C-alpha cells in the first residue's frame, strides 16, 4: 500500500496545530544534539558518535502511535523517538557520549555502551519487575545491525501469548495482549539474515509487530544496489504482502519527509497490529543522513554532488519547516525564536553534563595530588614523584585512566619505603581501583538473592522399590510437573510439539497443555532464540529448544551479542531469564556429536552453561533455573535418553545446584574431572584401573559456567596430588578452560606432584560411525592408558610400561 502526500488533506489543521509545533521543537532539539554531539567527538571529549539526524520525522510519527506497554526493539538512529517519548533528555544524550558511569546520569547503560543505544528500566532495584503496562518500554539496543530483529519477534509474540493463553497472570506485563512491538532497522541492514528470518517468522506467527525501515539508500558508503534486490526492500518482499485469502504482512510505503502522510501511515499500522495481531512493515523512503554514517568518516567521500544536493533539498527537518510555513501554522520569526531557545537549551545541557562528568574526577585528582605530595616529602625518590604530581596537575580534564596510571606509578617509586603517607597512597589506590572496576564489571550475572547459584540443592528422592525407566521419562514427567507449577512456562522449537521433541522428552505435553505452551517452530534457530529473549523480557518463562548442539551456531550471534550481555549492558536494569534446551556430545557423525564447549564458554559469558551427565541431573537443573531469573544453556546428553535411571518421587522439586561439582567416586591416587556423556566412559575406565591398583577420584564438573565455586576440585587435588581433565571438546577447548580454573584460579598447582594433563578429542570433528567415534573422541582405553601413563611416571616399578 502506498501512502501519498494527498493524505495530508485528511488531517485537521486545528487538531494538529499544537502537536505540530511541539513536534518541530523535538525534531530541532534532536538535530541540534546530533550536530553538537559530532563536535564533542571531533574535539576529543567523546570517543565516537553515531546519531539520528535525517530520521527525525518518521520517529515523531512512530512516537505518536506508541502506547504504554508497547516495546521498542530498535537501533542507534532512534534518538528522536526516545526524545519524543520523554525518555531521553539532552543532558542524558551528552552523558552517554562522555560515558558517564553513573546510572542516574546516564540511564541508558551507565557508560557501558556508546551513545545512541537506548533502553528503559524494566526492573526495580531488587530485580523485581516494574509494571511494564504503565510505561513505554524499549529493549536494550546492541550495535550489531539487524541484531535487534530476533528479539523483536519474541516481544511481539508475548502479546499473542497474553491474549490467547487462558489462566495466565498478565499483571505488570500485558493488557489483553494489546501491546505492539515496534522495530526499526536501516535499509541496508535488511540484507542481513536476521531480518529476513524475522520477517518470515512474523508472517507465520501473525504477531503484533511494526517494523520501520529507515531508507536513506546507503549502508555506510555502499549504495542500495549492492544491498537489495530491485534496490527496494518493499518490492523485494512484496510476496509477503497479505491478501484476503492468505495471511502475511501488511506492507506500507511512505516518504520520510511527509509529516502528515507519516502520521496517517503510523496510525494505520498501529491499528492493524494492535487490533488484528498482524505484522506490519513500513518502508520509509527518501530519508537522508546529513552528517554521514558516524564520526568515523565523511559522506562527502562517497556521495556525489548531485546526491548531496538532493539530500539537502529533501532533509526531513527542512521539508517540515517549509510545510509549517506554507500552511500558516507558524511564522518564520516564531520558528527562529524556537530554534534559538533550543540551541541554548542544548548548549547548557552539554555544559552541565560535562561539568557533572568531571566533578568526581577533579575531586579525586585533588586528593591524589595531595597524597603524592605528602608521600614525596618522606621519599628518597621525591623528584620522580613530584614529576608525576606536576604532570597530573597539568591535566585539566583527567579521566579515571589518568588517575589510575599516576597512582600506580607513584607506588613504584616508594618500593621498600615505609611511612604513613605511603600507606595512605596505597589505601587510596586500592579503593580507587576497586570502585572504578566495579563501575565496569558488575552485573555479568544477577546480584539479587534469587540468583541461580544461591538456589539450594534439593536431592532427588528414590523409593526402595522404584523401577528404573528411560532417562527421557524422567525429563518428560518433570516437565509435566513444571508446566503445572508455572503457568508462564512455555517451550518451543523444531519437533518440540506434536512429536514431543526428537527424543520424546516432551511426549504428550502438547496434547495436555496445548500448542501455545508446547509449540513447534520452523527451522530457524536465530529467531527461536529471539522468541525466547523477547518473551522473557516481558515476564514469561520461555524454554527455547535447539534440536542439536551443533545447530546452536546458527543462533550464536543473537546469544552472544544480545542475551549474554543483556544484564551487563543495562547495568542490571533489564533481564531475560531464557532457558535454552539442547542436546549434544556423543552420537554419530560430524553434525550430531557436538561438544564445542570451549567456544561456547568463551562466547557466552553471562549465560550459565550446564552439562548434565544424565536426565535426572538435567531435570534438576530446569527446576533450579525456574526458581531463579537468569539465562542458561542446558546441554542434555544425546545418547542418554534411553539409558535406564531410577525415577525420583519428588519430580519438579529436586534441584541440581549451579556452580557446584559432584564427587562421583572417591579415590586417593589421581583426580579425574569430566562431564556429560564422557563421564560415563570415565566411570567404566576407573573400574578397570582398580584392577591394576590405581584408585582414581571422579569429579563431575556438571556446571561449566560457573565452575566449582566451592573449590571441591582443589580439595581433591590436595589429597591425590595429580590431575587429569577429560572431555570430548577439541584440544585446548573446554579442558584448557577447566585447567585454568583449577590450576590458576583455585591454586591447585601448589599440591601437584605431576604435571596436570588433559585428554581430549582429536582436533577434527568426529567422524561417522562407531569406529569414527572411537578414533575421534576419548574412549575407555584412552582414559585407562593416560591415567596409567601418569602413574607409571610416578612409580615405574609398580606400573611398568604398557608398550
DSSP code per residue over 695-739: -EEEEE--EEES--TT-HHHHHHHHH--EEEE-SSPTTSHHHHHH
Cβ atoms of 495 and 520 closer than 8 Å: yes
What is the arithmetic mean of pLDDT over 213-225?
A: 93
> Of 282, 214, 207, nearest to 55 (Cα)?
214
What single DSSP character describes residue 555? G
Would you say 217 and 228 are in contact if contact means Cβ atoms under 8 Å apart?
no
Strands 696-700 and 662-665: antiparallel
Identify whether the C-beta of residue 748 lies closer than 8 Å to the C-beta of residue 738.
no
Q: What is the mean pLDDT of residues 594-607?
A: 95
DSSP three-state, residue 636: strand
Residue with cell string 505518536:
64
SS3 469: strand
Report how far apart, in Å, the C-alpha atoms of 137 and of each of 66, 130, 143, 561, 599 are.
Answer: 10, 11, 19, 20, 33
Longest dimension (CA), the chain: 103
What count of Cα atoms within 13 Å lies in the side-chain half-sphere of residue 519?
20
Q: What is the rounded average pLDDT of the residues 285-293?
A: 93
Taking residue 262's Cβ as centre, other Cβ atoms within 10 Å add up to 27
> CA-to-CA distance for 620 and 474, rounded, in angstroms?
10
Which segments of 66-140 does DSSP mark as H helices, in order? Answer: 79-84, 90-98
Residues ≥6 apart with Cβ < 8 Å to 303? 218, 311
Would you give the end-to-end CA distance of the chain in angstroms?
78
pLDDT of amino acid 10: 56
| CA-based nearest residue to 410, from 439, 390, 440 | 390
**Which pLDDT band holds residue 1 (cuts at 50, 70, 90)?**
very low
CA distance 622 to 616: 10
pLDDT band at 257 (very low <50, low <70, confident <90, very high): very high
Q: At what angle do helices 400-412 and 382-394 cross, to 10 degrees?
A: 170
Residue 351 has pLDDT above 70, yes or no: yes
Nearest partner of 260 among 11, 13, 24, judged by Cα: 11
Which tens digits make up the pLDDT trace of 691-730?
999 999 999 999 999 999 999 999 999 999 999 999 999 9
Mean pLDDT of 316-338: 96
Q: Are strands 632-637 and 608-610 parallel, antiparallel or unpaired?
A: parallel
In whole angstroms, give the CA distance from residue 476 to residue 487: 17
Looking at residues 9-19, what average pLDDT do you find? 71
Are 561 and 471 in contact, with CB atoms under 8 Å apart? Answer: no
**The three-state (H, E, C) secondary structure of 291-302, written as one string:** CCCCCCCCHHHC
Q: Compute CA 209 distance to the chain's CA centroid, rounded to the nearest angstrom.
A: 21
What pLDDT score was predicted for residue 89? 97
Confidence (pLDDT) at 594? 82
What does the pLDDT read at residue 12? 66
Percent of the chain with pLDDT over 90: 94
**Which residues are CB-contacts of 498 (< 8 A; sequence separation ≥ 6)?**
510, 520
Confidence (pLDDT) at 16:
72
pLDDT of residue 14: 73
Beta strands in 139-240 (DSSP E): 181-186, 209-214, 218-219, 222-223
Unique residue bearing C-alpha cell 509545533:
21
* Residue 297 confidence (pLDDT): 79
Which pLDDT score, from 0 to 100, does residue 389 have? 96
Segment 287-292 shows an average pLDDT of 92
670 three-state secondary structure: strand
Instruction: List, in sequence order, the alpha helices (H) in 277-330.
Output: 305-314, 316-327
Please say whether the beta carbons of 414 and 425 come within 8 A.
yes
Neighbour tally for 451: CB within 10 Å: 16
- Residues 345, 190: Cα–Cα separation, whole Å: 36
**Grid cell in block for residue 788:** 596409567
Q: Please report the DSSP string for 411-431 in residue order.
A: HHTTTT---HHHHHHHHHHHH
Fill in the DSSP letter of residue 185: E
Contacts with 157 (C-beta within 8 Å, 6 or more apart), sequence order: 205, 207, 531, 534, 535
Residue 160 neighbours by CB under 8 Å, 6+ apart: 177, 205, 206, 207, 208, 277
Residue 13 confidence (pLDDT): 66
- pLDDT-above-70 percentage for the chain: 98
**Catalytic residue list:** 592
Residue 111 predicted with pLDDT over 90:
yes
Please state, rounded to an integer, the average pLDDT across all residues of the chain.
95
**Rama region for 345: left / alpha / beta (φ>0; ψ in -120 to 50; rest):** alpha
Whole-angstrom Cα distance, residue 444 to residue 438? 11
Mean pLDDT of 161-187: 96
The tens digit of pLDDT for each residue in 539-554 reads 999 999 999 999 999 9
Helix and strand element counts for the chain (H, E): 26, 22
Which H or E run contains 771? Answer: helix 769-774
Q: Mind giving me the DSSP string for 232-277? A: -HHHHTGGGB--SSS--BEEEEEETT-HHHHHHHHHHHHHHHHHH-
Nearest by Cα to 482 from 421, 413, 542, 561:
542
Q: DSSP for 40-51?
A: HHHTTSSS----
What pLDDT does 803 receive?
Answer: 85
Does the structure show a pLDDT above 80 at 583?
yes
Asked if residue 284 lies in contact with residue 215, where contact means CB atoms within 8 angstroms, the answer is yes
Rg (CA), the chain: 30
pLDDT of residue 8: 45
- For the residues 181-200, what does the mean pLDDT come to? 97
Residue 5 has pLDDT above 70, yes or no: no
Torsion angles phi and psi, residue 246, rounded to 5 = -130, 140
Angle at 790 (CA atoms; ends 787, 793), nearest 5 degrees: 150
- Residues written for the chain: 803
Q: How far apart are CA 753 and CA 723, in angstroms?
A: 9
Give the pLDDT confidence score for residue 680 in this predicted structure: 95
Query: Would you say residue 3 has pLDDT above 50?
Result: no
Q: Cα–Cα distance between 601 and 734 in angstroms, integer?
A: 8
Q: Is the distance from CB of 791 to CB of 725 less than 8 angstroms?
A: no
- Predicted confidence at residue 415, as pLDDT, reads 96
Cell of 369: 595530588
User: Are residues 539 and 486 in contact, defined by beta-carbon separation less than 8 angstroms?
Assistant: no
By the 10 Å C-beta count (0-12 exposed, 13-18 middle, 19+ buried), 376 is classed as buried
- Residue 2's pLDDT is what? 46
Q: What is the pTM of this model?
A: 0.96
SS3 168: coil
Report yes or no: 562 and 142 within 8 Å, Cβ to Cβ. yes
* Eight-class DSSP state of 546: P
State the average pLDDT over residues 474-503: 97
CA distance 606 to 632: 9
CA separation for the pair 374, 372 (Å, rounded):
5
Question: What's the mean pLDDT in 458-480?
Answer: 92
Instruction: For residue 520, list its beta bridge partners.
Output: 493
d(CA 597, CA 660): 18
pLDDT exceeds 60 at position 752: yes
Q: What is the mean pLDDT of residues 642-650?
A: 95
> Which residues, at least 6 apart from 495, have a Cβ–Cβ distance to it below 8 Å?
501, 502, 520, 547
Instruction: Give the whole-angstrom CA distance, residue 497 versus residue 501.
Output: 7
Q: Are 158 and 540 in contact (CB under 8 A)?
A: yes
Using 50, 70 and 90 to split pLDDT, how confident is the model at 160?
very high
Amino acid at each position: 500500500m502506498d501512502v501519498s502526500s494527498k493524505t495530508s488533506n485528511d488531517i485537521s489543521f486545528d487538531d494538529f496545530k499544537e502537536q505540530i509545533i511541539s513536534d518541530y521543537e523535538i525534531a530541532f532539539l534532536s538535530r541540534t544534539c546530533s550536530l553538537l554531539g559530532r563536535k564533542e567527538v571531533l574535539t576529543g571529549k567523546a570517543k565516537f558518535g553515531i546519531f539520528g539526524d535525517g530520521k527525525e520525522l518518521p520517529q515523531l510519527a512512530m512516537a505518536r502511535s506508541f502506547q504504554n506497554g508497547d516495546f521498542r526493539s530498535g537501533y542507534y538512529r532512534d534518538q528522536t523517538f526516545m526524545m519524543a517519548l520523554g525518555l531521553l533528555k539532552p543532558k542524558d544524550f551528552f552523558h552517554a557520549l562522555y560515558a558517564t558511569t553513573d546510572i542516574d546520569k546516564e540511564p541508558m547503560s551507565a557508560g557501558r555502551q556508546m551513545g545512541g543505544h537506548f533502553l528503559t528500566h524494566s526492573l526495580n532495584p531488587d530485580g523485581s519487575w516494574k509494571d511494564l503496562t504503565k510505561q513505554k518500554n524499549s529493549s536494550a539496543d546492541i550495535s550489531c545491525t539487524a541484531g535487534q530483529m530476533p528479539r523483536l519477534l519474541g516481544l511481539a509474540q508475548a502479546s499473542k501469548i497474553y491474549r490467547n493463553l487462558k489462566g495466565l497472570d498478565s499483571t505488570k506485563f500485558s493488557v489483553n495482549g494489546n501491546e505492539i512491538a515496534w522495530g526499526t532497522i536501516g535499509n541496508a541492514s535488511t540484507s542481513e539474515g536476521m531480518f529476513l528470518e524475522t520477517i518470515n517468522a512474523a508472517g507465520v506467527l501473525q504477531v503484533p509487530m511494526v517494523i520501520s525501515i529507515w531508507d536513506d539508500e546507503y549502508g555506510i558508503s555502499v549504495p542500495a544496489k549492492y544491498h537489495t534486490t530491485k534496490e527496494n526492500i518493499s518490492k523485494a518482499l512484496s510476496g509477503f504482502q497479505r491478501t484476503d485469502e492468505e495471511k502475511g504482512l501488511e506492507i506500507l510505503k511512505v516518504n520520510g519527509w511527509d509529516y502528515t502522510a507519516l502520521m496517517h501511515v503510523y496510525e494505520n499500522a498501529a491499528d492493524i497490529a494492535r487490533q488484528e495481531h498482524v505484522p506490519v512493515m513500513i518502508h520509509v523512503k527518501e530519508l537522508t543522513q546529513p552528517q554521514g554514517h558516524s564520526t568515523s568518516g565523511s559522506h562527502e567521500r562517497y556521495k556525489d554532488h548531485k546526491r548531496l544536493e538532493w539530500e539537502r533539498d529533501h532533509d526531513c527537518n527542512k521539508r517540515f519547516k517549509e510545510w509549517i510555513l506554507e500552511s500558516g501554522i507558524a511564522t518564520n520569526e516564531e520558528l527562529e525564536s524556537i530554534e534559538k531557545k533550543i540551541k541554548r537549551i542544548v548548549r547548557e545541557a552539554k555544559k552541565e553534563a560535562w561539568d557533572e562528568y568531571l566533578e568526581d574526577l577533579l575531586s579525586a585528582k585533588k586528593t591524589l595530588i595531595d597524597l603524592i605530595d605528602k608521600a614525596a616529602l618522606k621519599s628518597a625518590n621525591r623528584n620522580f614523584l613530584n614529576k608525576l604530581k606536576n604532570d597530573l596537575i597539568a591535566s585539566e580534564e583527567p579521566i579515571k585512566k589518568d588517575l589510575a596510571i599516576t597512582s600506580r606509578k607513584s607506588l613504584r617509586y616508594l618500593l621498600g619505603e615505609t611511612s604513613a603517607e605511603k600507606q595512605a597512597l596505597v589505601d587510596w589506590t586500592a579503593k580507587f581501583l576497586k570502585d572504578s572496576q566495579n563501575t565496569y564489571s558488575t552485573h555479568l550475572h544477577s546480584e539479587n538473592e534469587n540468583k541461580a547459584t544461591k538456589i539450594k540443592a534439593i536431592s532427588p528422592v528414590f523409593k526402595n522399590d522404584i523401577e528404573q525407566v528411560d532417562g527421557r521419562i524422567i525429563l518428560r514427567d518433570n516437565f509435566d510437573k513444571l508446566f503445572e507449577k508455572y503457568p508462564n512456562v512455555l517451550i518451543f522449537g523444531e519437533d518440540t510439539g506434536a512429536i514431543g521433541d526428537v527424543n520424546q522428552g516432551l511426549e504428550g505435553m502438547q496434547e495436555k497443555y496445548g500448542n501455545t505452551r508446547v509449540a513447534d517452530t520452523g527451522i530457524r534457530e536465530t529467531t527461536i532464540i529471539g522468541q525466547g529473549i523477547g518473551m522473557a523480557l516481558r515476564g514469561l518463562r520461555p524454554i527455547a529448544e535447539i534440536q542439536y548442539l551443533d545447530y546452536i551456531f546458527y543462533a550464536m550471534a543473537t546469544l552472544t551479542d544480545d542475551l549474554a550481555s543483556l544484564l551487563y549492558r543495562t547495568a542490571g536494569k533489564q533481564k531475560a531469564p531464557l532457558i535454552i534446551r539442547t542436546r549434544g556430545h556423543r552420537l554419530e557423525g560430524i553434525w550430531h556429536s557436538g561438544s564445542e564447549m570451549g567456544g561456547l564458554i568463551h562466547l557466552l559469558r553471562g549465560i550459565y552453561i550446564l552439562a548434565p551427565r544424565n536426565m535426572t541431573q538435567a531435570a534438576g537443573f530446569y527446576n533450579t533455573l525456574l526458581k531463579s531469573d537468569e539465562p542458561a544453556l542446558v546441554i542434555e546428553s544425546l545418547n542418554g535418553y534411553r539409558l535406564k535411571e531410577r525415577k525420583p518421587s519428588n519430580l519438579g522439586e529436586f534441584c541440581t545446584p549451579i556452580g557446584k561439582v559432584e564427587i562421583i567416586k572417591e579415590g586417593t591416587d589421581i583426580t579425574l574431572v569430566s562431564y556429560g556423556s564422557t563421564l560415563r566412559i570415565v566411570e567404566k575406565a576407573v573400574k578397570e584401573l582398580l584392577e591394576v591398583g590405581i584408585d582414581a577420584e571422579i569429579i563431575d564438573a556438571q556446571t561449566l559456567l560457573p565452575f566449582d565455586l566451592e573449590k571441591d576440585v582443589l580439595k581433591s587435588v590436595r589429597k591425590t596430588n595429580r590431575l587429569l581433565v577429560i572431555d570430548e571438546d577439541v584440544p585446548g577447548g573446554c579442558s584448557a578452560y577447566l585447567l585454568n580454573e583449577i590450576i590458576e584460579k583455585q591454586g591447585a598447582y601448589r599440591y601437584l606432584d605431576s604435571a596436570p594433563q588433559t585428554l581430549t578429542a582429536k582436533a577434527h570433528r568426529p567422524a561417522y560411525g562407531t569406529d569414527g567415534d572411537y578414533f575421534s573422541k576419548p574412549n575407555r582405553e584412552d582414559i585407562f592408558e593416560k591415567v596409567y601413563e601418569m602413574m607409571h611416571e610416578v612409580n615405574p616399578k609398580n606400573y611398568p610400561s604398557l608398550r
